[in-house]
């Protein structure tokens, strides 16, 4: 396979900061390493273009400005479709310019055509962590509270703050946050746990969950399932642990099967 074109790599400085945004040409030989594997570190936006394409020439400056403005948080890779026809076919590029964004090795977003610069900026914003996202990743209470101030709808920050509060026994405030973290299975399980907070029999299961011992936590929760009054709340806690483990984790598979049998 051909090597990456000579001179294909460049850096564009973000004005006044001295920070470089990486913008580079990439070919089929380099695509997996630079784009797919690279997107585990930062999102990579791929511009499929050709020299003869007028709309491509209109879009390119907007893409490069957006990447430069987010230096260190996103990369822009450029693929010449004439020189990389198999790569274009692999991603079903039927019209250009075509833009595909990759995160964690998978395509996360896309568009085709020369969008206005304002829409290009919004596209990049959707890929780059916000200030609230970055604060939420820190995991400490002060940062989580600040993340919620910046973005009251940030479900992840509310969920993780609630987890800290539950471990301290501050159930009422934890529930306030969890009720606003909609659409999150882990948050729903934590809310169920909050409603079981006074149940001394289940306290060891929650302690094991907090200690990173899901096997023990799930065994204890399974043992409590025959109690019909608590069954649905216990099920929700177990689903939260399954979600954290991942669908294909052996513990999740085993206990999901056992949970299904216990409920039927």
Residue numbers annotated as active site: 53, 56
- Number of Cβ atoms within 10 Å of the Cβ of 110: 14
For the chain, the 3-state helix, strand and coil shares in percent, each to the nearest 5, are 55, 15, 30
Query: CA-to-CA distance for 23 and 19, rounded, in angstroms?
Result: 13
Alpha carbon distance 26, 32 (integer Å): 10
> How crowded is residue 3: how many other Cβ atoms within 10 Å of its Cβ?
9
C-beta separation of 101 from 46 below 8 A: yes
- Nearest partner of 96 among 110, 76, 75, judged by Cα: 110
**What whole-number distance in Å separates Cα of residue 48 and Cα of residue 56?**
9
How is residue 238 written in tokens?
Answer: 């177990």
């Amino acid at each position: 396979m051909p090597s990456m074109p000579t001179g294909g790599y460049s850096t564009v400085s973000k004005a006044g900061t001295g920070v470089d945004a990486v913008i580079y040409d990439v070919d089929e030989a380099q695509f997996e390493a630079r784009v797919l594997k690279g997107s585990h570190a930062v999102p990579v936006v791929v511009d499929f273009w050709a020299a003869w394409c007028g709309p491509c020439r209109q879009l390119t400056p907007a893409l490069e400005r957006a990447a430069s403005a987010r230096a260190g948080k996103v990369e822009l890779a450029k693929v010449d479709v004439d020189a990389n026809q198999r790569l274009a076919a692999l991603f079903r590029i039927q019209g250009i310019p075509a833009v595909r964004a990759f995160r964690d090795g998978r395509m996360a977003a896309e568009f085709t055509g020369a969008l206005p610069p304002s829409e290009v900026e919004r596209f990049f914003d959707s890929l780059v962590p916000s200030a609230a996202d970055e604060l939420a990743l820190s995991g400490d209470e002060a940062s989580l509270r600040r993340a919620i101030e910046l973005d009251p709808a940030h479900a992840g920050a509310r969920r993780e703050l609630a987890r800290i509060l539950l471990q301290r026994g501050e159930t009422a405030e934890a529930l306030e946050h969890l009720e606003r973290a909609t659409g999150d299975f882990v948050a729903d399980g934590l809310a169920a746990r909050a409603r079981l907070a006074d149940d001394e029999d289940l306290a060891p299961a929650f302690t094991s969950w907090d200690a990173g011992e899901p096997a023990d936590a799930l065994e204890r929760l399974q043992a409590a399932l025959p109690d019909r009054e608590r069954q649905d709340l216990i099920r929700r806690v177990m689903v939260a642990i399954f979600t954290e483990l991942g669908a294909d984790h052996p513990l999740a598979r085993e206990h999901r099967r056992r949970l299904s049998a216990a409920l039927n």
